[in-house]
Structure 1
């Protein structure tokens, strides 16, 4: 059983102390959620809550996730560094490929690029990006990322991106794993066809298990039998009983959000204590750090 932690909406200076502490406690991956801007007004269309309200406000702090993960890479040495998830169609594939190849090198192979298509139409409008074609744009972006990271001179002609032969440079090593988020039929197909894994939404266990089963079916249909990781959001109480229920359902890589029950005025000490509490409750279910499959060592 591996347990990750998701962080969002904190002042930029708060992420490193929490990531360093999470690494010391044995968390597997730290995931940063993403928005570029927050419109003053937006429709309540968040797809993972019945109210449609994501809980973010115009004064919720936002940080550039790739820059922040680069900072965390310099402060840690074992914990993996991921986006859960980065809104891919708000970017262009060239800057995205360059930033994440650099992050993979600087982190000694700990980067995990989680991507999604986004849900807030007003954010797309503010950035001048068409909301209606965001899924098709993301699909093409993923193909372009593969080209740019191939280590070969490449050219591309597509609906959204069209460029002559370019030289990106050596392919990142190890390859940057691309994890696809979302629970729509299109997102599940995207994960099955292109992803190295899936980043699940905050839904109940039965729904998570059903979605994972659907992705497995889709992967079989397209002939994929390579390694694939289901990063499933833990829904409900963070307890041994809950985690065992997920494990018994075959879901053994969980993402927890330990700060959701903290008051708005919570301090850094409160958040560190919340991480301690999760670790104390779940440590008996975690593997030895030597078996986590990525570099282990003391934090810097």
Structure 2
């Protein structure tokens, strides 16, 4: 399994984010990103919300750094780790605009972009942006098809998109928690990023489809891990995800500050290498 990071600070969900993240900024973020890069982590992530309804903020959190700006900044401070959107809401963006903006990031980062995409779940945010809520799944499928055709190509639909991504293929991880999201991932993507499901539920859903060769199954343990303080619990939770079919893990860790966060990441890297290889 490849090990990735659900980047702290840039997304602060209650129950997952630590108190120190509320006042952390670019210095702490850079330190953690560089640590993941040096430790050989596969990817780091950033989510996509313009605004969260105030009534939902106590559950979803209110802090969501812009993914394009954030990942562009982190690209300049790292050299190898992949830069994953987790996830872009397709209904909020024109597919050719995504091909241009994230294609530019792909060029700047020497081909390190991973596009995590989803259909969205906040009706209020769709209304805020003037995006179509009804039939958003069907519209997302059409947008994803156009995005795949446009990626890494200079001329698209009689328009020149310059610059563009360095390759005409890109990892596309489809988010969701339903059988339909899994079918969308198998049909139009290269991986699946389920959320809010137990390992047993994920394994049951995966048993309903034929997973293509090389297909990525990107799973998360949910609550932060504590590899230094409770190695046994961390190992138990990661093993359950491996047994459910994970090819990639996207993790967070408990920490008191950025320095402790980096120490926890090193301990997590060592645990995975020692016990799960």
- Give the match's secondary structure for 1:4: strand
Structure 2 residue aligned with 1:193: 187
The structure in which a higher percent of residues are helix is: 2
Contact 1:39 1:123 in 2 (8 A): yes
Structure 1: runs of 5 or more not aligned: 45-52, 156-164, 220-224, 288-300
Structure 2 unmatched runs, 5+? 13-20, 226-232
Aligned equivalent of 1:173? 166
After superposition, give the CA deviation of every residue in 1:21-70 in whole Å (9 maximum; x if it has no partner): 1122222111112211122234x9xxxxxxxx7441xxx33211011111
Partners of 2:136 and 2:25 lie apart in 1 by 28
Bigger Cα displacement from structure 2, 2-11 vs 167-176? 167-176
- Following superposition of structure 1 onto structure 2, how do residues 238-277 of structure 1 map, counting pairs within 5 Å? 239-259=234-254, 266-277=256-267
| Aligned mates of 2:74, 2:31 — CA distance in 1 | 9
Distance 2:243 2:131 in 1: 43
Over aligned residue pairs, what C-alpha RMSD do you find?
2.6
The counterpart of 1:123, out of the listed 103, 119, 125, is: 125
> Is the Cα contact below 8 Å between 1:205 and 1:235 reproduced in 2?
no
The answer to whether the 8 A contact 2:90-2:144 is kept is: no
Change (3 A) 1:107 1:257: same
Structure 1 residues 252 and 154: CA distance shift in structure 2, 3 A:
closer
- For 1:99-133, what per-residue CA distance to the aligned partner results, in whole angstroms no more than 9, with x for missing partners? 11111111111110000111111111111212223
- In 2, Cα distance between equivalents of 1:171 and 1:91: 17
What does residue 40 of structure 1 align with?
54
TM-score, normalized by length of structure 1?
0.75
1:232 aligns with one of 204, 213, 219: 219
Q: How many residues align?
A: 254
Matched, 1:72 2:74: yes
Residue pairs, 1:1-300, within 5 angstroms:
1-7=1-7, 8-9=11-12, 13=26, 14-42=28-56, 54-56=59-61, 60-149=62-151, 151=153, 153-155=155-157, 165-169=158-162, 172-174=165-167, 175-214=169-208, 216-217=209-210, 225-235=212-222, 239-259=234-254, 266-285=256-275
Contact kept, 8 Å, 1:154 with 1:167, in 2: the verdict is yes
Secondary structure of the equivalent of 2:207? helix
Query: Shift of the alpha carbon at 1:235?
Result: 4.8
Shift of 1:152: 6.2
Q: Moved runs in structure 1, 4+ residues, more than 6 A? A: none
CA shift for structure 1 position 285: 4.3
